[in-house]
Amino acid sequence: MNVEVRNEARSRGAAKAISISDVNLYYGQQHVLKDINLEIKPGEFFAFLGPSGCGKTTLLRLIAGFNQARQGKVVIGGDDVLDMPPWKREIGMVFQSYALWPHMTVAHNVAFGLEERRLRKAEVERRVNAALDLVGLKHLAERRPAQLSGGQQQRVALARTIAIEPKVLLLDEPLSNLDAKMRVEVRRELRDLQQRLQLTTIFVTHDQEEANTVCDRIAVFNEGRIQQVGTPMGLYERPANLFVANFLGTANLLEGKIRGEGNARSFEVAGAGSIPIPAGVDVPESAKLVLRPQYATIGLDAADSVSLPGRIVHREFLGATVRYGVQVGGAMVLIDAPFHSGDSLLEPGGSTTVGFKPKSALWLAN
Amino acid sequence: MASVAAIPINRISAKPGQVAAVALIALFLAVFLVIPAGTVIYTAFTEKGTGALTIVNFLDFFRTKLFQQSFFNSVYVSAMSVVWGTLIALPLAVLTTRFEFRGSLLIQTLGFIPLIMPPFVGAVAMQLLFGRNGTVNLLLNDWFGFRIPFMEGLNGVIFVQSLHYFPFILINLSTSLRNIDRSMEEAAQNLGSSGFRLFRRIVFPLAMPGYLAGASLVFVKVFDDLATPLLLNVKDMLAPQAYLRVTSVGLTDPMGYVISVILIVVSIFAMWLSAVAMRGKDYSTVQRGGGGLSKRPLSRGEAVLAYGVVGLILLLVLSPHIGLLLLSLATVWSFSPLPDGFTVAHYTRVFGESSLYIKNTLIYASLAGLIDVIVGGAIAYLVLRTKVIGRHWLDWAATAALAIPGVVLGIGYLRTFYGISLPDGTPLATLWVMVVMALAIRRLPYALRACYAALQQVSQSLEEAAENLGATKQCTIRRIVLPLMTGGLLAGFVTSFSTAAVELSATLMLIQSNSDAPIAYGLYVFMQSPAGRGPGAALGVIAVIMVAACTLLSHYVVERRQKTLGMNK
Note the pLDDT tens digit of each residue in B251-266. Answer: 778 888 999 999 999 9
Reply yes or no on whether the pLDDT at A202 is more than 90: yes
Give the closest-approach CA distance of B281 to chain A in angstroms.
8
Whether the CB-CB separation of B436 and B447 falls below 8 Å is answered with no
CATH for A252-364? 2.40.50.140
- At B568, the pLDDT band (50, 70, 90 cuts) reads very low
Name the residue among A280, A292, A289 with its Cα closest to residue A258.
Answer: A289
Output the pLDDT for position A172: 92
Determine, for residues A112 and B287 on separate chains, whether the beta-carbon distance falls below 8 Å: no
Residues on B contacting A at a C-beta cutoff of 8 Å:
181, 183-184, 186-194, 197, 201-202, 205-206, 208, 280-281, 283, 285, 287, 289-290, 294
How far does CA B230 lie from the centroid of its chain? 18
pLDDT in tens, A127-171: 999 999 988 899 999 998 888 988 899 999 999 999 998 989 999
Q: What average pLDDT score do residues B23-52 get?
A: 88
Whether the CB-CB separation of A333 and A325 falls below 8 Å is answered with yes
Q: What average pLDDT score do residues B181-210 get?
A: 88
Name the residue among A136, A85, A82, A76 with its Cα closest to residue A106.
Answer: A136
Whether the CB-CB separation of A323 and A335 falls below 8 Å is answered with yes
Output the pLDDT for position B566: 61
**Among A217-231, B150-164, B284-298, which is the least confidently predicted range?**
B284-298
B201 vs B550, residue with greater confidence = B201
Reply yes or no on whether the pLDDT at A362 is more than 70: yes
Mean pLDDT over each residue of chain B, to the nearest integer: 82
Beta strands A71-76 and A79-80, pairing class: antiparallel
Q: Which fold has domain A2-247?
A: Rossmann fold (3.40.50)
Domains and CATH numbers, chain B: 1-46+346-569 (1.10.3720.10), 56-343 (1.10.3720.10)
Rg (CA), chain A: 25
CA angle B167, B171, B176 (to 5 degrees): 145
Residue of B nearest to A157 (CA): B187
Name the strand (E) or helix (H) holding A33.
Answer: strand A30-40
- At A39, the pLDDT band (50, 70, 90 cuts) reads very high
**Among B148-157, B397-406, B453-462, which is the least confidently predicted range?**
B453-462
Beta bridge partner(s), residue A333: A326
Q: Which candidate from A86, A96, A103 shows the least CB-CB separation from B189? A: A86
Whether the CB-CB separation of A272 and A309 falls below 8 Å is answered with yes
Q: Which candidate from A66, A92, A113 shows the least CB-CB separation from B186? A: A66
d(C-alpha B431, C-alpha B421), whole Å: 10
In the sheet that holds A71-76, the strands lie side by side as A30-40, A18-27, A71-76, A79-80
Reply yes or no on whether the pLDDT at B333 is more than 80: no
Rg (CA), chain B: 26
Mean pLDDT over each residue of chain A, to the nearest integer: 89
Beta bridge partner(s), residue A310: A352
B466 vs A1, residue with greater confidence = B466
Reply yes or no on whether the pLDDT at A221 is more than 80: yes
**Among B85-89, B90-94, B551-555, which is the least confidently predicted range?**
B551-555
- At B293, the pLDDT band (50, 70, 90 cuts) reads low
Output the pLDDT for position B287: 52
- At A293, the pLDDT band (50, 70, 90 cuts) reads very high
- At A1, the pLDDT band (50, 70, 90 cuts) reads very low
Output the pLDDT for position B565: 67
d(C-alpha A201, C-alpha A93), whole Å: 10
Determine, for residues A87 and B189 on separate chains, whether the beta-carbon distance falls below 8 Å: yes
Whether the CB-CB separation of B96 and B482 falls below 8 Å is answered with no
Reply yes or no on whether the pLDDT at A7 is more than 60: no
Return the beta strands (E) in B172-304 as ranges.
Answer: 296-297
Output the pLDDT for position A74: 93
Whether the CB-CB separation of A55 and A253 falls below 8 Å is answered with no
Determine, for residues A103 and B183 on separate chains, whether the beta-carbon distance falls below 8 Å: no
Output the pLDDT for position B292: 57
- At A8, the pLDDT band (50, 70, 90 cuts) reads low
Phi, psi for residue A80 in degrees, rounded to 5? -75, 120
Return the beta strands (E) in A79-139 as ranges.
Answer: 79-80, 91-94
**Among A34-43, B22-31, B341-350, B531-540, which is the least confidently predicted range?**
B341-350
Q: What average pLDDT score do residues A86-92 get?
A: 89
Residue of B nearest to A102 (CA): B283
What does the domain layout of chain A look like in residue ranges? 2-247, 252-364
Which of B59-68, B120-129, B432-441 is modeled with the greatest confidence? Answer: B432-441
Reply yes or no on whether the pLDDT at A25 is more than 60: yes
d(C-alpha B58, C-alpha B35), whole Å: 21
The backbone region for A299, taken as left when phi is positive above 0, alpha when psi lies in -120 to 50, beta otherwise, is left
- What is the biggest distance separating any 2 CA atoms in chain B, rounded to whole angstroms? 94
Output the pLDDT for position A216: 95
pLDDT in tens, B365-413: 899 999 999 999 899 988 888 888 888 888 888 888 888 888 899 889 8
pLDDT in tens, B459-518: 777 877 877 887 787 788 888 888 877 777 887 888 788 888 878 888 888 887 778 888
